[in-house]
Amino acid sequence: MKPSRTRNISILFQLGGLVLAFGFVSLILLLIDADPIQAFSLLWEGAVGNTTRIASVFVVWVPIVLVTCGVLVTFTAGLWNIGIEGQITIGAIFTTGVIRMFLDTPVNPVLVIILSMLAGMLGGALWAVLAGVLKVFSGVNEIFGGLGLNFIATALNIGLIFGAWSRPGVASMSGTEPFPEVYWLPTFQNFRFSWYSILLSVIGLVVIYFLLQGTHFGLRLKAVGKSIKSAFRLGITTWQHMLLAFLVCGVFAGLAGALQVVAVYHRLIPSISSGYGFMGLMIGMLINYQAIWVAPIALFFAALNIGGIQLPIVMKLDSALTGVLQGSLVLFVLLMQGVKQRVLGKQ
């Protein structure tokens, strides 16, 4: 079979998954007496209805892209980096910590922002490598190690917000004291997004694309991901590559966490990772680990997130419905992949 034909069939099956997911969500809506057409048009309108909304979509797009870029590396090495949420959180904590250190000093705020973001990347990388070390040296499966590290990161975050870093006289889950505006990443006009965030995620996309497609390192990671034993026999240093995959992923997750602090919330909040880590894992699976699809699919997921706000306001539906749509999308597309393999296999 010609490769182009295989690709067409592939796309057909993926579209089938998409249709099934929308059909499934429509069914749910019909069951609760809501109009699916109205719901989907609200989602669309809520995401692209005006420039403010489009800008909000890009605020969400940035961390999702970065995180998805990160998990592609670990996925390529055959690793399930469930600990990504914790890595985002630790990145945010490191970033906040550095800004706090320089708050009342004469150090140039631009320098502080850069340092804090580097610290965030370092924090994310450390937390990811920790999961890697647990896997490589202690035999703790990265899924369980990652889950555990997520819990620890959350606990640490809450401990800091409610304790050591709480606002003067206040202990609240609403977060730490907002930083003065000089420590905010500048936003574009009155919109919520920053060109710097967009630029960083585009750079991230390019780096990951070439790292995975065009370097020996990417090739070796693939070999490790396909089969550790064969990779080892080929002379690839397997555990080092696993750790490196974690490290790269952690850097991206840490950067996402850092941007959540300096560009979005301007303070540390308990849910700073906002579930973007898990969303990145979902997107990674959905796009079958191909970097080329990260940007558009992340845009689609971000648009769903922002558009979903309309559902409770206008239709009194729960915004969680968009989560159902995202989740079922992944499930149905994976399901269709399975179906495709069976069908093609029989041919």
Partner 1 sequence: MKKKLVFWVLTVLMVSALILTACQPSAEPAPPAEEPAQVEEPEPVEEPEEFVFGMLLVGPYNDRGWSQAHHEAGEYVMENLPGTRMIYLDVVNTADRPGTTAAQLAEELVQQGAQLVVFNSDDMKDDAVEFTRNNPDVYVIHASGDSVWAEGENYVPLPNMVNVMGEMEYGKMIAGCDAALHTQTGSIGYLGPLINEETRRLVASSYLGAQYCWENYLGNDPADLNFRVTWIGFWFNIPGFTEDPTQVANEFINTGVDVIISGIDTTEALVEARKATGEGNQVYAIPYDYVGACDEAPEVCLGVPWYNWGPAYLRHITSAMNGTWESVFEWLPPDWGDINNHDTTAIGYVSGPGMSPDNEALLQQFIDELAGGLNLWVGPLNFQDGTTFLAEGQEATDHEIWYLPQLLEGIEGRSE
| Binding-site ranges for partner 1 (CB under 8 A) | 46, 49-56, 58-60, 154, 158, 162, 166, 168-175, 178, 188-192, 198, 202, 205-206, 209, 213, 264-265, 269-271, 274-276, 291-292, 295-296, 299, 305, 309-310, 312-314, 319
Secondary structure (DSSP) of 275-318 = THHHHHHHHHHHTTT-GGGHHHHHHHHHHHHHHTTHIIIII---
Minimum distance of partner 1 from residue 111's CB (angstroms): 25
Q: Nearer Cβ to partner 1, position 74 or 305? A: 305
Minimum distance of partner 1 from residue 119's CB (angstroms): 22
Minimum distance of partner 1 from residue 209's CB (angstroms): 6
Q: What angle do CA 335, 340, 344 make, to 5 degrees?
A: 155
Q: Nearer Cβ to partner 1, position 7 or 226? A: 7
The token pair at 257 is 């966490």
Angle between helices 84-102 and 109-138 (to 10 degrees): 150
Minimum distance of partner 1 from residue 296's CB (angstroms): 6
* Four-CA torsion 184, 81, 60, 48, nearest 10 degrees: 160
Minimum distance of partner 1 from residue 70's CB (angstroms): 18
Q: How far apart are CA 273 and CA 121, in angstroms?
A: 14
Minimum distance of partner 1 from residue 150's CB (angstroms): 10
- Closest residue by Cα to residue 115 from 132, 99, 93: 99
At residue 139, what are phi and psi to the nearest 5 degrees?
A: 70, 20
One-letter amino acid identity for 328?
A: S
Q: How far apart are CA 234 and CA 199, in angstroms?
A: 38
Q: Nearer Cβ to partner 1, position 54 or 219? A: 54
Given CA atoms 152, 70, 81, 133 in this order, what sign does their dihedral have? Answer: negative
Minimum distance of partner 1 from residue 204's CB (angstroms): 11
Q: Nearer Cβ to partner 1, position 107 or 320? A: 320
How remote is the C-alpha of 224 from its chain's centroid?
Answer: 23
Q: Nearer Cβ to partner 1, position 175 or 280? A: 175
Q: Nearer Cβ to partner 1, position 133 or 299? A: 299
Q: Nearer Cβ to partner 1, position 312 or 338? A: 312
